[in-house]
Amino acid sequence: VPATRAQIGQQKRERTRATLIAAAMRVFARLGPDAPTIDHFVEEAGLAKGTFYNHFETRDELLIAVASIVSDQLISEMLRIRTLSDPAERVGRAVRTFVRKAVSDPTWGWIIVRIALIAAPLGEEMRENLSIDINDGLKQGRFQSPSLQAAYDLVLGLGLMGMRSVLRGDAGVDHAEHVAQLVLAALAVPDAKEVAYRPIGPAAT
Amino acid sequence: VPATRAQIGQQKRERTRATLIAAAMRVFARLGPDAPTIDHFVEEAGLAKGTFYNHFETRDELLIAVASIVSDQLISEMLRIRTLSDPAERVGRAVRTFVRKAVSDPTWGWIIVRIALIAAPLGEEMRENLSIDINDGLKQGRFQSPSLQAAYDLVLGLGLMGMRSVLRGDAGVDHAEHVAQLVLAALAVPDAKEVAYRPIGPAAT
DNA sequence: TGTACATCAGTGAACGCGCGTTCACTGATGTAC
DNA sequence: TGTACATCAGTGAACGCGCGTTCACTGATGTAC
């Protein structure tokens, strides 16, 4: 089928928008949520300044777009892990996966570390999803914790700090497993080390 | 003794500087390290804009001054705790003290949470001091951890996230003890709960 | 088939506000005589 | 004791750069005939 003018235009628009968002991710990862200027984004993207305003009204709108994409990736990862039946394995796998992903995709990792706790949507999604898994473990007696909130602080705090360490190059190759092991040990999982190192195969229920 | 003109001037200067720094602490606590402008600081302090430049050359210099003060307070607190002989009690006490202090002095707490990981001196001081206590515990066999770095991420990550929870009003009255207990449990301290709740008396060696 | 036209994403010069920075001035207070 | 002077922290108006924002224009590409 021949492309109509409208279709061609839309495709170009979408490609430019994607270029801009990809550039914005690198910039936010490098400079954090507050410091970057419009010039930072368009220069990184290799586009004219006016182009920014063809796609976004404000700098904040771009930050939200970036946060939404990262948030969606987080959620889909959490949902894949949810197919595992053991809450300990779910929480351990989540921590381990995110720390490993920070190694393989530092831009993604720095965005999480630098804006995770600031951009509202991102933080809330993480919170909701984590709370489900932690609650499951507590109800089943697989976890012990003096409170849900403390367990939540444990997983999010140690997870983020573990990501930060590997991003800064301060940690060894097994850091993801080490961090997962400590999380599970804190929650009084007896086989914490075994679960933390369990090979990642096809999701077994 | 009658005050000389030079002394009077110096005293006034010091008072103004203190006013400015106290105002800057509230502003940094509220807005983070990047967002505030010079106008924010002088308005909060009730001073003229030019006065800022009588005391600091740049916005960054003020941030460093604030970070230094907070850092000094952190270190002196850590040094007081160092008089305790049991590494488990030292680490637990440190975490507990900082979370409690975030409750009683939210401005101080928010500064730690918002700029702890950004302002270099602050992060390094915390790192050095924590590493000493953690290393002691590992060498003495009081702690178990797959790596020093992971244990460090645990204490700093859970500590900061615990502070953040109480600052946001998301946690109960015993949150400091809950967080300390989880830290010690993660490090395989058998009497984690007992140590976390041990009354804070005069430092016993 | 070829040519003139319509559409629209992208462009970048121009504008103007906000914020960092300067500096001549004020006023409080000790000092000189 | 009283008065003129010196010093210096603090003041705030003024300046100008940087950055957000606008908009007339360009050029690529499909459409009309």
Q: Is the pLDDT of residue A205 over 60?
A: no
With beta carbons less than 8 A apart as the criterion, state whether B91 and B187 touch: yes
Residue A13: CB less than 7 A from any atom in strand D: no
Q: Is the pLDDT of residue B1 over 50?
A: no
Q: Is the pLDDT of residue A1 over 50?
A: no
CA A39 and chain centroid, separation: 26
- Chain mean pLDDT for chain B: 94
* Cβ contact, residue pair A150, B182, below 8 Å: yes
Q: Name which of B154, B178, B193 is nearest A147 (Cβ-Cβ).
A: B178
Q: Name which of B150, B156, B158 is nearest A153 (Cβ-Cβ).
A: B158
Interface mutation vs chain A, best among B30, B143, B153, most A CBs within 10 Å: B153
Give B11-37 pLDDT, tens digit per residue.
999 999 999 999 999 999 999 999 999
* Cβ contact, residue pair A153, B117, below 8 Å: no
> For residue B78, what pLDDT band results from cuts at 50, 70 and 90?
very high
Taking the C-alpha atoms of residue A29 and residue A24, their distance in angstroms, rounded to an integer, is 8
Distance A55 CA to D25 C1' (A): 19
Contacts of A175 in chain B (CB under 8 A): 147, 149-150
With beta carbons less than 8 A apart as the criterion, state whether B133 and B94 touch: yes
| Closest nt by CA–C1' to B53 | C21
- φ and ψ at A46, to 5 degrees? 70, 35
> For residue B48, what pLDDT band results from cuts at 50, 70 and 90?
very high
Give A39-73 pLDDT, tens digit per residue.
999 999 999 999 999 999 999 999 999 999 999 99
Distance A153 CA to C13 C1' (A): 51
Taking the C-alpha atoms of residue B87 and residue B145, their distance in angstroms, rounded to an integer, is 14
Kindly report the pTM of this predicted structure: 0.93
With beta carbons less than 8 A apart as the criterion, state whether A63 and A20 touch: no
Q: What percent of chain A has pLDDT over 90?
A: 86
Q: Is the pLDDT of residue B3 over 90?
A: no
Give A74-133 pLDDT, tens digit per residue.
999 999 999 999 999 999 999 999 999 999 999 999 999 998 777 777 888 889 999 999
Distance A38 CA to C25 C1' (A): 40
| Closest nt by CA–C1' to A58 | D20
Q: Is the pLDDT of residue B203 over 70?
A: no
Q: Which are the contacts of A65, defined by CB distance < 8 A and separation ≥ 6? A: A21, A24, A56
Residue B15: CB less than 7 A from any atom in strand D: yes
Taking the C-alpha atoms of residue A33 and residue A63, their distance in angstroms, rounded to an integer, is 7
Of A108-117, B36-45, B98-107, where does mean pLDDT reach its minimum? A108-117
Distance A57 CA to C24 C1' (A): 43
Angle between helices A87-104 and A148-168 (to 10 degrees): 30
Q: What's the confidence (pLDDT) of residue A118?
A: 76
How is residue A61 written in tokens?
A: 């709108």
C-alpha count within 13 angstroms, C-beta hemisphere, residue B89: 16
Q: What's the confidence (pLDDT) of residue A124?
A: 86
- φ and ψ at B191, to 5 degrees? -95, 40
- Chain D nucleotides near the protein (CB, 7 A): 7-14, 18-24, 29-31
How is residue A185 written in tokens?
A: 């040990």
* Cβ contact, residue pair A186, B188, below 8 Å: no
- Chain mean pLDDT for chain A: 94
Distance from CA of A132 to the nearest CA of B (A): 17
Q: What percent of chain B has pLDDT over 90?
A: 86
| Closest nt by CA–C1' to B36 | C19
* Cβ contact, residue pair B182, A117, below 8 Å: no
Q: Which are the contacts of A77, defined by CB distance < 8 A and separation ≥ 6? A: A94, A97, A98, A101
Task: For residue A169, give the DSSP letter.
Answer: T
